[in-house]
Chains A and B, each alone.
Chain A
Amino acid sequence: MVSLEELQSRFGEEIREKTFRDNRFIDVSSGVLLDVLSGLKADFGFSMLIDITAIDWLDYEGATDRFSVVYLLLNVETGERLTIRTAVNLPDPQLPSVCALWMSADWLEREVYDMFGISFSDHPDLRRILMPEEFAAFPLRKDYPLKGRGERHNFPVITRSEG
């Protein structure tokens, strides 16, 4: 198991750890995120990226940052899991892309961008993935209403002759 001291001595003292049930969370700042992830992959055997997701903390009691981006890692040989969290804020939520480390990050980062508007620098192809290209909002943000803002009614209707 990776100890917190090892991580702190290598990636800086501001790394924090938290455990809930059997999940281990490592909080890092967005500046060292890429170093931490590539270090964990190369030297600690976390070879598989299970998932990338984000959380919008708007109006969550006690939250200090607007978004968290979460990377779930797995060590395929030992089965050890680690959750790396980092905070991003408006007006320009941006993180470095990890596509160079894991090919699967491509679509996962596109989904986070599509749903939360968090962009990833150096991503090879950062486009919307689930929502239509012309969609203007980011639907999983907390300030986006459940029923939408009328986009559905204003969808262009393509007739057979035009299509």
Chain B
Amino acid sequence: MPLTPVATHGSESKEREYVWTLNFGPQHPATHTTLRLVLTLDGEKVLQAVPYIGYLHSGFEKLGEHLDFNQYVTIADRMNYLSPLANEIAWHHSVEKLLGIELTPRCKYLRTILAELMRLHDHLLNLGTTALDLGGFTAFLYFFQQREHIYDIVELASGQRFHTSYTRVGGVLFDVNTDWVNRVRKFIQNFPPVYEEVNRLLTKNRIFVDRTQGIGYLSREDAINLSATGPVARASGVERDLRRDDPYLAYNELDFDVICSTGGDCYARYLVRMQEMLESLRILEQAIENIPSGPVNIDVDSDMVLPPKPSVYRSIEGLIQHFEMIMPNRSHDVPREEVYAATESPNGELGFYIVGNNESRAWRARTRPPSFIHFAMFPHMIRDHQLSDVVAVLGSLNIIAAELDR
């Protein structure tokens, strides 16, 4: 990709000959994915950072116009691959809003549990790798072991560890059983000791605190002006959490606190994510003990949901229903309207803007990607910091290139 002169480069940097340029990425271990930054440095001080993105662009939004509402879930969960199910839930949340579907209580609780597991999943990797980039290897291993348990839980529910493609319009692929519920219970029991260990390793660790405190400061005004959401905004004192402010799924029946900080630096974002994990655990504890019984999918007669597989294979009615749902011109009754719905994904507000057009695929499937919007504020946050702070700020923003580039 040829570089064209960037308008934002100050002319002053040309006069100072000792200023040098460093190409950071797109293949660099500390970027974790394919991010590229062109840094203008004065010694080790960053004068300017210009991100170049698009290396992972794969036309997700174009594909969204060609795949139907159930098929696109396989694309949606490849966006933020640290928390695939959170993307699926966000996608079908928007689709169900467009179609006017009210989920069953069991499905609401099930999706809430999965969404919170995904929040843990995402924060565990983010905090682990942030510590890894700053020289702390142990926390990463401790946290990654807990991620393995979440992988197992997700696998038991959906048959897939990573790209689960578990949600469907009006419900989920399979219902869960008591074995699964016990797994989640066991995870909730085993998690706090590990969390405490990492808490002791990092939170008051002199090196970790020195590397993150006062680094990458984002004021409340800037956070709002730069459209920050999620932990990044809450660490800068923006008290917003869609789970509380715009409740969806079962969140209005559950008791939890919104974690905020006024620090605005990398350390504040670390603390917010750490505390959020405890709140997620609290939500999990309540939700797992209160899963309602009953069907997990909405009624098949609504012509909105795929019929269960036993009925497809063993009865002609089920087979016809399945066929009708699969045919693009005969399935969902889609209004010719536009809709935007958002969920609080681990990374921030993840929303989908969908335009319907009488067929079971979207006319336009726009993703509001939190990584994209958070990466846009990176040059603003890194200015006048040291080169070694680049990885600290990148880690605290939790940029996922697949979601960034889509």
Q: Which of A48, A50, A60, A127 contacts B363 (CB 8 A)?
A: A60
A23 on interface, CB distance cutoff 8 Å: yes
Residues of A within 8 A of B53 (CB): 129-130
Q: Which of A23, A127, A131, A133 contacts B338 (CB 8 A)?
A: A23
Beta-carbon nearest neighbor of A57 in chain B = B363
Q: A129-B53, A134-B2 are in contact. Are A20 and B225 (CB under 8 A)?
A: no
B59 on interface, CB distance cutoff 8 Å: yes
Beta-carbon nearest neighbor of A115 in chain B = B61
Q: Residue-by-residue, is B236-251 near A (CB-CB < 8 Å gives 1, otherwise 0)?
A: 0010100001100000
Residues of B within 8 A of A21 (CB): 97-98, 100, 339
Q: A70-B353, A107-B373, A107-B376 are in contact. Are A130 and B224 (CB under 8 A)?
A: no
A72 to B340, CA, bound (A): 9
Q: A23-B340, A124-B8 are in contact. Are A133 and B1 (CB under 8 A)?
A: yes
Beta-carbon nearest neighbor of B380 in chain A = A103
Is the beta-carbon distance between A76 and B240 smaller than 8 angstroms?
A: yes
Q: Which of A106, A125, A140 contacts B61 (CB 8 A)?
A: A140
Is the beta-carbon distance between B62 and A139 smaller than 8 angstroms?
A: yes
- Shortest Cβ-Cβ A-B pairs, 8 listed: A104-B227, A107-B376, A130-B54, A53-B366, A130-B57, A51-B368, A125-B7, A20-B337
Taking the nearest CB of chain A, how far is it from the CB of B196, in angstroms? 34
Q: Which of A23, A61, A102, A108 contacts B225 (CB 8 A)?
A: A102
Beta-carbon nearest neighbor of A146 in chain B = B66
Interface residues of B (CB under 8 A from A): 1-2, 4, 6-8, 53-54, 57, 59, 61-63, 66, 97-98, 100, 222, 224-227, 238, 240, 245-246, 335-340, 342, 349, 351, 353, 355, 357, 363-364, 366, 368, 372-373, 375-377, 380, 405-406
Beta-carbon nearest neighbor of A114 in chain B = B54
* Between-chain CB contacts (< 8 Å), 17 pairs: A20-B338, A20-B339, A48-B227, A49-B227, A51-B227, A61-B357, A72-B351, A76-B224, A76-B238, A81-B340, A103-B377, A129-B54, A131-B54, A131-B57, A132-B1, A133-B2, A146-B66
Is the beta-carbon distance between A140 and B340 smaller than 8 angstroms?
A: no
Q: A55-B364, A125-B7, A131-B57 are in contact. Are A50 and B349 (CB under 8 A)?
A: yes
A47 on interface, CB distance cutoff 8 Å: yes
Q: A72-B340, A104-B377, A133-B2 are in contact. Are A146 and B62 (CB under 8 A)?
A: yes
A79 to B245, CA, bound (A): 7
Q: Residue-by-residue, is A45-73 near B (CB-CB < 8 Å gives 1, otherwise 0)?
A: 00111110101100011100000001010
Taking the nearest CB of chain A, how far is it from the CB of B272, in angstroms? 17
A25 on interface, CB distance cutoff 8 Å: yes
A83 on interface, CB distance cutoff 8 Å: yes
Taking the nearest CB of chain A, how far is it from the CB of B381, in angstroms? 12
Q: A103-B226, A125-B8 are in contact. Are A72 and B368 (CB under 8 A)?
A: yes
Beta-carbon nearest neighbor of A141 in chain B = B62
Is the beta-carbon distance between B353 and A51 smaller than 8 angstroms?
A: yes
Residues of A within 8 A of B372 (CB): 107, 111
Is the beta-carbon distance between A106 and B224 smaller than 8 angstroms?
A: no
Is the beta-carbon distance between A48 and B340 smaller than 8 angstroms?
A: no
Is the beta-carbon distance between B238 and A56 smaller than 8 angstroms?
A: no
Besides A51-B353, A51-B366, 19 other A-B contacts (C-beta < 8 A): A21-B339, A23-B338, A47-B225, A48-B224, A49-B227, A50-B227, A51-B351, A53-B368, A55-B338, A60-B363, A76-B238, A83-B340, A104-B227, A104-B376, A107-B375, A108-B376, A124-B7, A124-B8, A140-B61
Residues of B within 8 A of A83 (CB): 338, 340
Is the beta-carbon distance between A25 and B338 smaller than 8 angstroms?
A: yes
Q: Which of B2, B98, B355, B368 contacts A55 (CB 8 A)?
A: B355
